[in-house]
Structure 1
Amino acid sequence: MSDTIRSHSTEALPGSIDATLALLEAQDYVADRPLATVLFLALRMGRPLFLEGEAGTGKTEIAKVLSAALGRPLIRLQCYEGLDVASALYEWNYAAQMVEIRLREASGDTDRDAMRAGIFSEAFLIRRPILQALDGAPGRAPVLLIDELDRTDEAFEAFLLEILSDNQVTIPEFGTIRAAEPPIVIITTNRTREIHDALKRRCLYHWVDYPAAERELEIVRRKAPGANADLARELVAFVQRLRAVDLFKAPGVAETIDWANALTELNAVALDPAKVSDTLGVLLKYQDDIARLAKGEGQDILAEVKRDLALAG
């Protein structure tokens, strides 16, 4: 098979799992094969990709990497409690419409049908992220990132379900807008609540877990290249053990990278109890977790890390 498949125009999508891995690799995203497989299938089948997992495991980054690698625009809809259609899809520029009405009345133009057609036109339509994503030209359809969907409510899920099913939307005053080419859709959730099965069924699904030690070390080498090699091994081993502790919020990969960069700024070449204690606020975000490690558990973990790495040579 050719190493690429063609969309409706000249933009190329990866044509194999290996090509998908290479695409991610070229953008310094260290992925495992299961993730590359489901991403390849989502692109080839034109299906949304539903990514679920803990915060900080790299779900959002996948959409950014795809956008950069494929040369497609990235349109991000950041979800939050109370998100409605006006914020996600479209709204009318009411202030400009009122000015237009006053100008028409002042000029003596009182034809109601003409006025209605004039104010509910393209010039007054404010396109929000989802409508922007449906506007992509063939071969240039954007990457639509619907980030942290679990922060919204079920009513918004139902609205989103209709959009994903038909790749079109009907605006009562304007008409139907249909995507010339469906956008590449990435949906993420941190699983603070369950998403309805009806929406999941329309997507390909992947759980993005914390990486194994070897892959996390490679991520640190790429994202924090200034970190000393011994320091990188120690801090990754420390974080890996820390995730097994019953914390309020375990550190994600993003925190591992931040910690590596912070320790590098402090000219550290290895972990020691003082540096761990002084920089816990980079790695952990809740005071109860920080206090727990500061009381001695952090030193115990560090001692285990030092011992195991010494035995491994």
Structure 2
Amino acid sequence: MNQPPASIDAIAEALQAQAYLPSRELATAAFLALRLSRPLLLEGAPGTGKTAIAAALAAALQRPLIRLQCYEGLDLAAAAYEWNYARQMLEIRLAQAAEHQRTADELFARRFLIERPLLQALTTQPAPVLLIDELDRADAPFEAFLLEFLADYQITIPELGTITATAPPLVILTSNRSREIHDAVKRRCLYHWLDFPDAARELAIVRARLPQIDQRLAGQVVAFVQGLRQLDLYKLPGLAETLDWSRALVELNAVSLDPATVQSTLGVLLKYQDDIARVQGSEAARLLAEMREVVRA
């Protein structure tokens, strides 16, 4: 697909072809981000498909995917560019040996520039999908570096000048809301909140991602996970955990959920011991009973 999808339905179908089943609202947000050339900020609980949509869009649009994983201490050198000082020093020594004086303009030429994800997103052709993942993990001051990039798809390098994208990349930013993203960043983006999918869409996603899973087991898995999300747990299982659990059950040749299977595989769904202890035993039995009622209905 060399051209952007012509409608919301077209982008939804393109994502579905990549086994990513978006809600109508998310498909609309992605469509507008493409048509308006605006970054898209996705917030929501971990495991709700924020990162996965970038890969799905890149595949659907036949564009390269560039990923910037954010972390505490991330700076401009790791995110945008840095100068190849070792190569510059070598150039100076070679010039000295040849009794030639290098000027600053020669030493800060484009060939000495090391491109990091933000700059790569401006220079890669065709225009890529840029994923700025888990922005909330970066230090708040890092967001100031992004403002020029998000507003004008350009980066100003003091020694070289301003580099602007010929065609704007599709920028997807994600946040798990461990801290608030600054309003200046949000103003430059379209916004969408990804919540946990309802049972029908989650079941459709499981079937799309794991066509080999027993249909009855898939329904049981989704009903059980939906029940878990009603509990007061430290970390609710996301869609990613649902898919991981489904794959684990397929590997174990399970055909239905039973207390022993749930007991032995809870660590795939829940990642904190307090949550596992809360669900084990009578709580798991209650959820299994509710699951059977839901599946029968």
| TM-score computed with the length of structure 1 as normaliser | 0.92
Q: Distance in 2 between matches of 1:32 and 1:266?
A: 31
Q: What's the offset of the Cα at 1:44?
A: 0.6
Please give the secondary structure, in 1, of the residue aligned with 2:291.
Answer: helix
2:71 to 75, 80, 84: 80
Q: Distance in 1 between matches of 2:211 and 2:204?
A: 10
Q: What's the offset of the Cα at 1:176?
A: 1.5
Q: What's the offset of the Cα at 1:295?
A: 3.9
For the Cα contact (< 8 Å) 2:58–2:129, is it kept in 1?
A: yes
Please give the secondary structure, in 2, of the residue aligned with 1:270.
Answer: coil
**Count of matched residue positions in the alignment of Structure 1 and Structure 2:** 297
2:294 paired with 1:308: yes
Matched residue, 1:4: none
Q: Distance in 2 between matches of 1:45 and 1:116?
A: 40
Which amino acid in the other structure matches residue 254 of structure 1? Answer: A
Which sections of structure 1, spanning at least 5 residues, go unmatched? 1-9
Matched residue, 1:117: 105
2:161 paired with 1:170: no
For the Cα contact (< 8 Å) 1:101–1:115, is it kept in 2?
A: no
Matched residue, 1:3: none
After alignment, is 31-40 or 273-282 more displaced?
31-40
After alignment, is 286-295 or 141-150 more displaced?
286-295
Please give the secondary structure, in 2, of the residue aligned with 1:154.
Answer: coil
Superimposed CA distance per residue, residues 210-249 of structure 1 (whole angstroms, 9 cap, x where no aligned partner): 1000010011111122211111101100000101111111
Superimposed CA distance per residue, residues 231-275 of structure 1 (whole angstroms, 9 cap, x where no aligned partner): 110110000010111111111111101111111111111000000
Superimposed CA distance per residue, residues 44-71 of structure 1 (whole angstroms, 9 cap, x where no aligned partner): 1111111110110001111101111111
1:223 to 190, 209, 214: 209
Map of 1:1-313 to 2, 5 A cutoff? 11-109=2-100, 111=101, 114-137=102-125, 140-310=126-296, 312=297
Q: What's the offset of the Cα at 1:136?
A: 3.2
Q: Distance in 1 between matches of 2:8 and 2:219?
A: 29
Q: Distance in 2 between matches of 1:172 and 1:132?
A: 18
Superimposed CA distance per residue, residues 56-107 of structure 1 (whole angstroms, 9 cap, x where no aligned partner): 0001111101111111111100000110000000001111111111111111
Give me the CA root mean square deviation: 1.2
For the Cα contact (< 8 Å) 1:136–1:180, is it kept in 2?
A: no
Superimposed CA distance per residue, residues 198-219 of structure 1 (whole angstroms, 9 cap, x where no aligned partner): 1111111100111000010011
Q: What's the offset of the Cα at 1:293?
A: 1.1
Q: Distance in 1 between matches of 2:84 and 2:239?
A: 42
Q: Distance in 1 between matches of 2:277 and 2:231?
A: 13
For the Cα contact (< 8 Å) 1:249–1:284, is it kept in 2?
A: yes
Which amino acid in the other structure matches residue 54 of structure 2? Answer: A
Which sections of structure 2, spanning at least 5 residues, go unmatched? none
For the Cα contact (< 8 Å) 1:168–1:179, is it kept in 2?
A: yes
Which amino acid in the other structure matches residue 117 of structure 1? Answer: D
Which amino acid in the other structure matches residue 26 of structure 1? Answer: A
Please give the secondary structure, in 2, of the residue aligned with 1:50.
Answer: strand
Superimposed CA distance per residue, residues 274-302 of structure 1 (whole angstroms, 9 cap, x where no aligned partner): 00000011111111111111242112111
Give the share of equivalent positions with the same residue, in percent. 62
Q: What's the offset of the Cα at 1:308?
A: 3.1
| TM-score computed with the length of structure 2 as normaliser | 0.97
Q: Distance in 2 between matches of 1:76 and 1:230?
A: 37
Q: Distance in 2 between matches of 1:165 and 1:309?
A: 49
Q: What's the offset of the Cα at 1:133?
A: 0.4
For the Cα contact (< 8 Å) 2:223–2:294, is it kept in 1?
A: no
